[in-house]
C-alpha cells in the first residue's frame, strides 16, 4: 500500500528536516527553502491548512482508545514495512531499515537498552498511513493547536489557510491554555508521534515517551518556541528529546542494516519491555 499525498516517500519529509538542520549548513542558507522539492512544499501547505484543533481532537477520539488492533511489536514493524513508497531516488531503505539504523547508532554510542528500543520503535505510528490517513495527518513537524502559531514553525505563511487562524480565541499567545500548564495539557497537531506515544505509554520509561511524543516538535526542541506552555519537568525531559534527535536525522547515511541478523537482539529487547500482544 502507498501513502496518500504529495510526498514521494515519507522519508522525503524526514530528509527535508535533516537538511534544514544540517550542521554543515552556512547561516545565510539557514532559512532559505527556495530549493525545497515542490512535493515537500505542497505537503506542508496541506498539513498547515488542515491540522485544526477540531481535527486533532477528532483523531485523538478516533485512535487513542487503541481499539483498532492487537499485535506484537515486531508484527507492527513488519506491517509498517508493507508501506511502499514511490521510488525515492536517494534511498532504497525500507521503513524497518530507518528504525534499525537509528537503534544501531544509539547502541554503538553505548546508550541503555530502553534508549536503543526507542530508536527502533519511534516511527511505528506511521502505520496510520496504512489505515488510510493522508501524509499530512501522519508526518510533518508538529505544533500546538488552540493557540497562536509560532513563526519558528517551518512555512508559517501556510497557516493563513487554516480555519483556526480566523478564530480569535485560538490566536492569542496562550489561546485555550494556561501559562506553564505543561505539554501534557497541550494538543499538538496529529500524527505518528502522538499515536505511538499512547501505544507505548504503559511500557516504556518516561524519557523514552518524551522522545516518542515530541520528536517532530522541532519548533520547541530545536528552536526554543512555546517555552511558556512547558513546565520545569518538560524542560528537563526535553534534554532527552534533544539527545535522541541526531539519531533520527543523521543515521540514514549508515550502511543498510541486516534485519535477519539484528532481529534476535531487538526481539529480546522488545520482550523485556512489552507483552506479546499490544493494543493499537
Residue with cell 518538560: 234
Q: How far is the CB of 81 from Fe ion (least distance, A)?
A: 14
- Considering the complex, what minimum distance in angstroms separates the CB of residue 123 from Fe ion? 4
What minimum distance in Å lies between the beta carbon of 58 and Fe ion?
Answer: 22
Q: Report how many residues bind Fe ion under the rule CB under 5 A.
A: 2
User: Where does this chain touch Fe ion (CB under 5 A) — which range of 73-81, 106-114, 150-158, 242-250?
Assistant: 242-250
Owner of C-alpha cell 489505515:
131
The residue (of 139 and 147) whose beta carbon lies closer to Fe ion is 139
Contact stretch for Fe ion (CB under 5 A) within 3-11, 116-124, 163-171, 217-225: 116-124
The three-state (H, E, C) secondary structure of 149-164, written as one string = CCCCCCCHHHHHHCHH
Joined together, the cell numbers standing for residue 52 give: 485544526
User: Per CB under 5 A, does 248 bind Fe ion?
Assistant: yes
Q: At its nearest, how many Å lie between Fe ion and the CB of residue 218? A: 11
Q: Does 104 contact Fe ion by CB under 5 A?
A: no
Kindly state the cell numbers that stand for 41.
512544499
Say whether residue 194 binds Fe ion (CB under 5 A).
Answer: no
Output the CA torsion sign for 158, 164, 166, 169: negative
Residues 117-146 touching Fe ion, rule: CB under 5 A, are 123
**Residues 218-251: b if buried by 16+ CB within 10 A, e if exposed:** bbbbbbebbeebbeeebeebbebbeebbbbbbbb
Binding site for Fe ion (CB under 5 A): 123, 248
Amino acid at each position: 500500500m502507498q501513502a496518500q499525498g504529495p510526498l514521494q516517500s515519507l522519508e522525503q519529509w524526514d530528509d527535508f528536516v535533516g537538511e534544514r538542520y544540517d550542521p554543515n549548513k552556512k547561516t545565510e542558507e539557514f532559512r532559505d527553502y527556495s530549493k525545497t522539492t515542490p512535493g515537500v512544499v505542497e505537503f506542508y501547505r496541506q498539513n498547515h491548512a488542515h491540522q485544526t484543533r477540531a481535527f486533532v481532537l477528532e483523531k485523538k477520539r478516533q485512535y487513542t482508545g487503541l481499539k483498532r488492533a492487537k499485535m506484537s511489536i515486531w508484527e507492527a514493524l513488519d506491517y509498517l514495512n508493507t508501506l511502499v513508497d514511490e521510488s525515492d531516488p536517494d534511498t532504497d531503505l525500507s521503513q524497518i531499515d530507518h528504525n534499525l539504523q537509528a537503534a544501531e547508532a544509539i547502541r554503538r554510542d553505548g546508550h541503555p537498552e530502553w534508549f536503543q528500543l526507542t530508536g527502533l520503535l519511534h516511527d511505528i505510528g506511521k502505520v496510520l498511513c496504512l489505515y488510510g490517513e493522508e501524509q499530512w495527518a501522519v508526518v510533518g513537524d508538529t505544533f500546538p493547536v488552540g493557540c497562536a502559531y509560532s513563526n519558528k514553525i517551518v512555512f508559517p505563511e501556510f497557516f493563513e489557510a487554516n480555519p483556526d487562524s480566523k478564530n480569535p480565541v485560538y490566536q492569542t499567545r496562550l489561546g485555550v491554555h494556561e501559562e506553564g500548564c505543561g505539554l501534557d495539557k497541550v494538543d499538538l497537531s496529529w500524527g505518528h508521534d502522538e499515536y505511538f506515544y499512547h501505544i507505548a505509554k504503559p511500557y516504556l520509561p518516561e524519557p523514552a515517551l518524551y522522545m516518542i511524543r515530541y520528536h517532530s516538535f522541532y519548533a520547541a526542541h530545536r528552536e526554543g518556541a512555546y517555552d511558556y506552555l512547558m513546565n520545569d519537568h518538560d524542560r528537563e525531559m526535553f534534554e532527552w528529546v534533544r539527545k535522541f534527535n541526531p539519531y533520527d536525522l543523521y543515521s540514514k547515511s549508515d550502511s543498510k542494516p541486516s534485519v535477519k541478523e539484528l532481529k534476535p537482539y531487538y526481539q529480546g529487547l522488545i520482550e523485556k519491555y512489552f507483552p506479546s500482544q499490544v493494543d493499537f
